[in-house]
Amino acid sequence: MSGADGERTVLVTGGAKGLGEYLVRAFFAAGYRVCVSDVDGKGAADLAAQLDSQGERAFGLALDVRDPEAFVVAQARMLEAWGRIDVLVNNAVVTRAQPVLEIDPDDFDAVVGVNLRGTFVGCQVLGRHFREVGAGRIVNIASLAGQNGGTATGAHYAASKGGIITLTKVFARDLGPFGVTVNAIAPGPLDLPSVHALVPPDKLEGIVAGIPVRALGAPGYVARTAVHLADPEASFANGATWDINGGLNMR
């Protein structure tokens, strides 16, 4: 991959807030040029401006991950601005907690549409580009819920995250021969505002008590793990799901 100064670049979906913001900041701190994308285009642009008011190392754009053309546009913007794309982080997510017998099929489709379809579309569109240039890193954000069915989230969320783990293996197998690696990170409950908003304090206390390390996970560490998997030398890490769950799921 070429570029005037060889500075690596990354596209982060769902990057305006939550874990996405941690991912954006971790990659920027590691020296990457970052395209901050989010369905909330203003939020993405605001975060990019905080990082780099000149727009030389960061810019934001609106991106609906369900739409393949949105990824095509983001790819074109990055190539125009920086001449290269090195990494895709599929992080965009909808999180809902509902009893399985109360989930409306339309709600199921809405969650799976963002979480699973969005990951598939991102891997497919950018995967084609990475295959063509002969290099690339894709990091998909899965979840412990995709491994154990979830403890505080709904079946639609858990099913979508389990699907992401499977998609990771499929894309890793098919893109590996072309210098492209695809891995997933499966965090357990993280110390994020979204988690505190989703889980009532009394229930959250019980969840924390059931985690062997007796604490919520650090989102900054999850983000730095994504940077680690995106490293040019991470060529032998492929098709893996990296567990960061405090010991809730050991294998």
pTM of the full structure: 0.96
Dist CA 89 CA 99 (whole Å) = 30
Burial class (CB in 10 A: 0-12, 13-18, 19+), 202: exposed
- Structure confidence by residue, pLDDT tens digits, 120-154: 999 999 999 999 999 999 999 999 999 999 877 89
What is the pLDDT, as a whole number, of residue 4? 40
What is the pLDDT, as a whole number, of residue 158? 97
Q: Is there a contact between 183 and 139 (Cβ–Cβ < 8 Å)?
A: yes
Establish whether 221 is a catalytic residue: no
Average pLDDT over residues 236-247: 98
What is the pLDDT, as a whole number, of residue 230? 98
Dist CA 134 CA 175 (whole Å) = 9
What is the pLDDT, as a whole number, of residue 199? 86
Closest CA to 42 of 67, 21, 61: 61
Average pLDDT over residues 155-180: 98
Q: Is there a contact between 139 and 230 (Cβ–Cβ < 8 Å)?
A: yes
Which token pair is 190? 């993280």
Dist CA 62 CA 30 (whole Å) = 24
Question: Where do the domains of the chain lie, and which CATH numbers do they carry?
Answer: 9-188+220-242 (3.40.50.720)
Q: Which residues make beta-bridge pairs with 89?
A: 12, 139
pLDDT of residue 1 exceeding 60: no
* 197 sits in which H/E element: helix 193-198
For residue 54, count other CB atoms closer than 10 A to its CB. Answer: 7
Q: Is there a contact between 128 and 119 (Cβ–Cβ < 8 Å)?
A: no
Helix (H, G, I), strand (E, B) or coil at 63: coil
Average pLDDT over residues 104-116: 98
What is the pLDDT, as a whole number, of residue 182? 99
Average pLDDT over residues 200-204: 89
Q: Could you tell me the CA-to-CA distances from 9 to 24, 74, 113, 119, 249 in Å, in that order?
A: 11, 12, 26, 19, 33
The per-residue pLDDT of the chain, averaged, comes to: 95
What is the pLDDT, as a whole number, of residue 62? 98
* 10 sits in which H/E element: strand 9-12
Give Cβ neighbours of residue 109 (< 8 Å, ≥ 6 apart).
Answer: none
Average pLDDT over residues 99-115: 97
Side-chain half-sphere CA neighbours of 18 within 13 A: 22
- Structure confidence by residue, pLDDT tens digits, 20-74: 999 999 999 999 999 999 999 999 999 999 999 999 999 999 999 999 999 999 9
pLDDT of residue 2 exceeding 50: no
Active-site residue (options: 22, 32, 157, 221):
157
Give the dihedral of Cα atoms 235, 139, 22, 91; nearest 10 deg: 170
pLDDT of residue 3 exceeding 80: no
| Residue 6 DSSP label | -
What is the pLDDT, as a whole number, of residue 6? 67
